[in-house]
Structure 1
């Protein structure tokens, strides 16, 4: 069905795209909105009919090597804002992001990347329909897994960080995809662009989240949706239940040195950020211009007396408003950036925090983890533009640090 939709869309837009190409044949977006599956992308196209909304149907550009399911970049007529759907899960997201970076028809040097998608939510932090903007994304799937029926007596979970012998170990094998940190000052500037009165809600979502009122610490999950600052845990394995949720919340806390606050589940955020770090090393993108937005479609654990399976298969009543709020957040941010381009965003929003990956390859010293492969200087890649200073310390590429 999605292939049919994309093919029909392509035919419908080909004439418009031909008429709307930029004068030099390149598109230089101020904002690149990234979505991950069909409904997340389609809401932007459907809402393009809304009065005053950005029209992402005006240009259609095929991106070589992008997902065969979603091969087209959708842009406004002036090319200021573009929309790309990567395909679900980490492999798809990384491959499509790399395809965007490699496309010679795109100038991404000043582009703001706004990742927008739905995810699960922790009821002690957020509720159904909530819009979250993250500073950290943590790859909790980087684990050994033990079957719950065979756990050692002292283990509360079967997920153990790779290279360690304890579920509560902070670091073991470091692959440099465990944690990414983005610009918190940018996050703060973008979050105020979202009008709280526009955040979608529904009677069905309100009725479902009322089940969480009986637990005082789940008061956030029983409340109406709002805009929050908190962080995402990513994995291609979907999980449900209090034990796993608490396990991954501890992982986020440990791997961000106590700074990150877990509130949403996601699959693809770290995958896109990993590709963007490589793009930044080639001076293709500015990693200080990245924002992570997730809206909550379901809870990561059941309400009292609900089974984990019921929560998993029947708990997605927040999905319609989460999809709606993907557009509310992403379109509001895109319009805000474009509207204040000259006075604020063209020059960039200076970061007050560390921005980058575990190893610090973009320069600076990570405020988490055991990385620091280049003594605070950007890593030098042979032939890369604008790169200077240190090489990677090869001995730390697969460090095994026991704590």
Structure 2
């Protein structure tokens, strides 16, 4: 379960994102010249290839709106345009074709919305013989719902944990015992008040803590642009001092679930679920859908020797709050957000500005970071 977070978009945008593969242009015949790039472009996807493309950075996004460039941006567009990801590589085994820059060796993937798509697309990329991903860094960069108790719209959070909120028991809220705080609780619990040690296998994914701390230290002073729209939105959240701050960079954990959720009570549930699942070490800050699928695939690919899970970073920026301000009903606020996220463009710019700081440092000093992740 998740907040009215990123991919509710509004509903019209979600429908557009869901239809994106149909808008992907057909693969044009490629004339092989020479070199690994031309060889790879001529290879049949999923079949053996006589060359592999070196990849230093994988940018993982989840959706695009309309075209890949030149219109209202989704998560992928700013990276494509500003990082000159102009080489399209057919990827029929995934949601969307891949894009590559042979000079920077950045590869970008659009996984599609939802855990199933993200897991399958990530696994398909990791097993693709056309790419050498052994030393690649991965940056998952997506918009999200954000807890107003922790941060404001446009703020960008580096996750130490991603927690799966779908593997749970559920009892309708109208039937729960009076002393229960929620009708949702993890599969390994006997109720929301059960404090026994959690089972984390397949449900909690811990990112490389040294890499997270390094990324935060590098980006904590990045100035994220503010605008009138998000100023007006955060002004509604009186009594939430972090929500009323201009956008900032923080460390905060990601709650991954497939149901769009919104409201104060479910926000409490997400906080409780995250704390329980991480034995009190984690703090729910952003809500989205895909991370646990992406990270599960990367864990398996690491076991297979294809990628390195210690080189993975998750950055989510707030496009909307995960609960309404005081005095506003959750249903009313959800319907309001469906008309368009107040922080959509701000969150996309935040992702790019903060994420680019890390990308530039890694690529500009590749001789330092190729062999081992920064600490």
Interval containing the TM-score (normalised by the shorter chain): 0.7 to 0.9
Deviations 1:272-320 (A, max 9, x none): 0000000010111111111010000111111011111232232420111
Query: Which structure's relative contact order is higher, taking Cα pairs within 8 Å and 6+ residues apart?
Result: 2
Q: 2:245 maps to which residue?
A: 223
The answer as to whether partners of 2:144 and 2:318 remain within 8 angstroms in 1 is yes
**Structure 1 residues 207 and 128: alpha-carbon distance in aligned structure 2, compared to 1, 3 A threshold:** same
Deviations 1:146-186, CA, capped at 9 Å, x for gaps:
11111112212110221432113356995822100011211
Take 2:196 and 2:323, find their aligned partners in 1: how far apart are those partners? 26
Match of 1:61 in 2: 89
List per-residue Cα deviations over 1:12-41 (Å, max 9, x = no partner).
Answer: x96899988177731121110100011111
Residue 158 (structure 2) pairs with residue 133 (structure 1): yes
CA distance in 2 between partners of 1:202 and 1:20 (Å): 45
* Structure 1 residue 21 corresponds to structure 2 residue 37: yes
2:53 partner SS:
coil
In structure 2, C-alpha distance between the alignment counterparts of 1:154 and 1:190, rounded to whole Å: 41
Change (3 A) 1:248 1:30: same
Moved more, 96-105 or 160-169: 160-169
What is the DSSP-based 3-state SS (H/G/I as helix, E as strand, rest coil) of the residue aligned with 2:243? helix
Q: 1:44: which partner in 2?
A: 79
Q: Quick one: distance in 1 between partners of 2:153 and 2:330? A: 17
- Give 1:347's aligned residue: 371
TM-score (norm: length of structure 2): 0.83
- Conserved 8 A contact 1:161-1:172: no
- For residues 110 and 199 of structure 1, what CA distance do their matches in structure 2 show? 30
Offset of 1:248 from its aligned partner?
A: 1.3
The CA deviation string for residues 182-222 of structure 1, in whole angstroms up to 9 with x for no partner, is 1121112223443745423221111110111x21xx10011
Is the contact made by 2:197 and 2:279 (CA closer than 8 Å) also made in structure 1?
no
Matches for 1:244-323 after TM superposition, within 5 Å: 244-315=266-337, 316-323=341-348
Within a 5 Å distance, the mapping from 1:2-401 to structure 2 comes to 2-3=20-21, 5-7=23-25, 21=37, 25-38=51-64, 39-46=74-81, 48=82, 54-57=83-86, 59-67=87-95, 70=96, 72-78=97-103, 80-170=105-195, 174=199, 176-194=201-219, 196-212=221-237, 214-215=238-239, 218-315=240-337, 316-343=341-368, 345-349=369-373
2:12 is matched with none
Corresponding residue number in structure 1 for 2:3: none
Residue range with higher mean Cα deviation, 88-97 or 248-257: 248-257
Q: How many equivalent pairs are there? A: 335
1:90-120 per-position Cα deviation (integer Å, ceiling 9, x unaligned): 0000000010011000111101111110000
Runs of 5+ unmatched residues, structure 1: 49-53, 352-403
TM-aligned CA deviation for residue 330 of structure 1: 2.8
Cα distance change on mapping 1:3 and 1:163 into 2, 3 Å: closer
Residues 163 and 256 (structure 1), Cα distance of their counterparts in 2 relative to 1, 3 Å cut? closer
- Indicate the larger mover: 153-162 or 72-81: 72-81
TM-score (norm 1): 0.77
| Contact 1:17–1:60 (8 Å) recurs in 2 | no
Distance 2:204 2:130 in 1: 31
> Over aligned residue pairs, what C-alpha RMSD do you find?
2.5
Contact 2:267 2:322 in 1 (8 A): yes
What is the deviation of 1:63? Answer: 2.7
SS, match of residue 313 in structure 2: strand
